[in-house]
Structure 1
């Protein structure tokens, strides 16, 4: 009996040793094709989850496909990504991204003339094109900036008048002041700088102190070419008294949130003089917020041209290769008028070109004495 059992065990061992080996799992044809898939995944999710405009997943992925196909054609390549039936929803859809990535890899394998980095850059450009906004942009590994809403500026930088007497500057923020004939205090700066050692609101206040001491009768703030920065609301509050300024719009909607001028920042009556602000389409964000805060409360006359419309806030995702993607997560509207400013701009109360803007502003201010 034991002999029979022993033979049976031997038979089983022999069968096991002679059984065919399990089939090896074959890699997918595109598994080794580098399209920077992780970066594309992160970029797609950032846009579909965070964009304040709630752009659809379908538009984001369709934009990437269109951009890749255009690059293939531009470089004399082969094939293209065929249309894919994506879900038209405003949320990240993993199965749809997978369809896109696999199709993109297949076509990339046919186009070695496009590097993996360039392929990813183009795809991200296409994704962003679905939701153009000043605050949505991509910085590639080499430092190149790809904007979702490229709008070349035509306006000039601030031009400090040669008449009158200097009140000081320019300093590190470009802050300079000048007492013009007739008591007009001209002030300009190119960035709302706030650091551990420099605060633009303190420095503007000091410049205004000089203007009041010199007998100033009106303020002329020339913010053409100002690139923005921090605490524009603080300087606007110098001229307000607790009023609402701007609504903050979030992706999720919900109850309105607004900014209000802090009463403790209002300057004394000696500083509450007529005020004009010059803007154009060069620069944006901080100077636009400052001007809109005042415009919402009819506290200043805006002179010049329509501003660029860069009024919101962004969330930045840093990639491991040194690139980064910024996505707009807030935008501002008028708290009192409901005016849409982001991607539209601040409309001037008085239109003027760059050559005549200062003279026009002076003329308006003198009428308010």
Structure 2
């Protein structure tokens, strides 16, 4: 066993499944010699608009840039507050401070790991400019419980969908995809994502045409016409090779997400078979959600870090998302938060562990993972 290796995500297996399609798509870009923006990028934008059922999609250079572009389009200014979660990747909060805004954190639900209407609405003040829900690990926030109330309070919703491309939630008996319920939705195409490129890439989707037009300018230094700049923007263009790769992968995304869901169900069954459910708590899929399991993140009741080391010693790569809540990061100390301010988020940083999950993971590999966990805890 110790000679075997299992990563949290095996990109090589994914490439092997669609190698011919990918190679042909990249070849066409190379032959065209059109590498920045152009027809592949506009084609991807159109594909995403159809898939998400949104009026506009604007490609950019990364998921982090997508968040910054969205907040710039909202005219976020120093003194403005943006409510979000402390249990997320760094870019969720840094996009706010980069523009001079103030992150205001709301604690999360211990089961879904997402913010709730109760925690968010209690943070709204007359300084609140926006709310950034993070659809963490591939599961959507209960947007229907927040959107109308925030609209009444003139708070814009900017969805952080970096981990949720293809996730949806049933709202009024209608499936609404992540990114399609806020005024703006932000996506990452980092290679490890469910819809990942072969380098950096991102996208903003918008239900507001005026904002979409502005973001399209902001990503090219604020230029409406080349060399004529309406405002100071960013250099955040999506390149054609990434767009071509993503267009191929988007065609397969739904079936890959379903394979992830099957793998997640298999983990739950294996935990029960190995008598681990009193020690390991599988991630909860909220009613009405279609969870795409970008990460498979259960909680363990004790010895999380030692378990992580044990798995690694056996050749199984597991990770911790996230080891330190955003409100405890040194660079955000100026916000004045202390340990204990967000107890659920803080407890999750100590209890959760991300196990290998990807469309091609085998039943035998999952059995290996769970039996290794069982052996660590002295179970059969």
Smaller-chain TM-score bracket: under 0.3
Report the structure, 1 or 2, having the larger strand content. Answer: 1
TM-score w.r.t. the length of structure 1 is 0.23
TM-score w.r.t. the length of structure 2 is 0.22
- Tell which structure's C-alpha radius of gyration is larger: 1
The structure with higher relative contact order (CA 8 Å, sep 6+) is 2
